[in-house]
Structure 1
Amino acid sequence: MEWTGEALLIGVRRHGETSLIAEAMVAGRGRSLGLVRGGRSPKLAATLQPGNTVQLTWRARLEDHLGIFMVEMLQARAATLIADRKRLYLAQLVCEHLRLLPERDPHDRLLGMALSLLDHDPDGAALARFELTLLDELGFGLDLSSCASTGVTEDLTHVSPRSGRAVSRAAAQPYLDRLLALPSFLTARGNASPDDLRAAFRLTGHFLDMHLWSARGIEQPPTREPLIDLLTKDEAPPSERR
């Protein structure tokens, strides 16, 4: 068995004295793992860094085997990421999110969003939309199309923390202390203030914890809260900066 594809490296771990097991998001193939023989050598150290885009060739005797990766650098990002704390935290968080996906299940929409996040200035609004999409792709998507109580499709301002369904401004009034705020930029294009971003990450974080972190007995990625702090200190979104 053999295939070749372009991939985003999202993780590596040691295997034996000289090798690594690399984890990557491969276009059309999803999250894939493979053994890189000699992966701990100085020659491959710069290539096998999460955040880099590589060409992978995977070989195995049977399809369900771990297999062997041959790796060739296509786009090096690691050095740029290390030089900027915000970019580094963003890359680490995106890679941790992608590692939640089932193995060998294509998620090219998420891969495209991840590459866009890594190749542009850190953008809190884009990251929040990425987290919403991650929930959707894993089967836990929020229903933000209409009010859970009245069925109206306009002036949706909150989300039920239990059902993940939107609630209109009027219907939300008696329950404001129980609902999660729904920033308008998540349902319509527009700028996001620092307060909007904080509300968006509270929303996505609640459902990521409900369906993924707590459900799997894992902690949220350690870079998420520090990154949110950095992103919400900006006075204006990237689209408005000069």
Structure 2
Amino acid sequence: MEWREEGIVLGVRRQGETSAVAEIMTRDRGRHLGLVRGGRSRKLQPVLQPGNQVEATWRARLDEHLGFMTVEPVQLRAAHLMESAIGLHGIQLLAAHIRLLPERDPHPRLYDAIQTIVSHLGTPLLAGALMLRFEVMLLEDLGFGLDLEQCAASGRRDDLVYVSPKSGRAVSREAGEPWKDRLLPLPGFLVGADETLDGDGLIEGFRMTRFFLARHVWEPRAIDEPVARNGTLGAIERGLSAR
């Protein structure tokens, strides 16, 4: 078995004295691991850093084996990402989210989204909006997608400002007014509304995705919210307040 594909380094762990197990996200083969001989060498350590784009070649006798992986640098982003708190926490959060998916299960939309996000982690408002959209897509790929196309009560497709915590469906302002204290705010930019993206909208959006991630993913799996998520959101808020 052999394949060759570009991927984004998510993480690496030590294996023996000189080798390492690399974890990368590829577009067509999903999250994939492989043993990199000499992965702890001076040459390869800088390459096997989270956020870097590499060209990986994976070989194994059987598909279910861990296999051996060789990597060549394509775009070394890690040093730039580590220069800011958003970059440092953001790439860790993306890795934590991707690890919720089955290994070797392709998710091309999420891969493409990561490519976009890592290129904009230096801009707090845009980084936050992209990360929030990523969490919405992640819920969908995990089988818990939100229905934000039309109002659950009236069928309206405009003035959608709430999300039902029970159904995960959008609710219009008029239909949700009597129960607005029980509903989750829905940022307008997520549904294409003519609304200026701001920090308050981002915070409301991340509260919404946190609710559904906790209910459907973290709590059923008995895992905690990633520490990197709080770090990322805190860094985004500090970046916005410094503008």
TM-score, normalization: structure 1? 0.92
* Residue 183 of structure 1: aligned partner: 187
Aligned: 1:129 with 2:133: yes
User: Structure 2: how far apart are the matches of 1:149 and 1:186?
Assistant: 19
* Residue 209 of structure 2: aligned partner: 204
User: Structure 2: how far apart are the matches of 1:232 and 1:85?
Assistant: 11
Show the 5 A alignment for 1:165-184.
165-184=169-188
Q: Secondary structure at the match of 1:125?
A: helix
The structure-2 alpha-carbon separation of the partners of 1:30 and 1:235, relative to structure 1 and needing over 3 Å to count, comes to closer
Where does structure 1 lack aligned partners over 5 or more consecutive residues?
Answer: none
Aligned: 1:230 with 2:235: yes
Show the 5 A alignment for 1:14-33.
14-33=14-33
Q: Secondary structure at the match of 1:126?
A: helix
User: Structure 1: how far apart are the matches of 2:85 and 2:234?
Assistant: 12
Farther-moved stretch of structure 1 (206-215 vs 65-74):
206-215
1:234 deviation in Å?
4.5
The answer to whether the Cα contact below 8 Å between 1:18 and 1:40 also exists between their aligned partners in 2 is yes
Aligned: 1:100 with 2:105: no
Farther-moved stretch of structure 1 (226-235 vs 29-38):
226-235
Deviations 1:52-102 (A, max 9, x none): 000100000011111110111111011111111121111111121112221
Show the 5 A alignment for 1:134-149.
134-149=138-153
1:104 deviation in Å?
1.3
Equivalences, count: 237
User: Structure 1: how far apart are the matches of 2:170 and 2:84?
Assistant: 36
User: Structure 1: how far apart are the matches of 2:99 and 2:196?
Assistant: 29
Identity of aligned residues (%): 51
Q: Secondary structure at the match of 2:10?
A: strand
Q: Which runs of 4+ in 1 moved over 6 A?
A: none
Deviations 1:184-241 (A, max 9, x none): 01111653111101000001111111122112111111121232123234559xxxx8
TM-score, normalization: structure 2? 0.92
* Residue 81 of structure 2: aligned partner: 81
User: Structure 1: how far apart are the matches of 2:184 and 2:222?
Assistant: 23
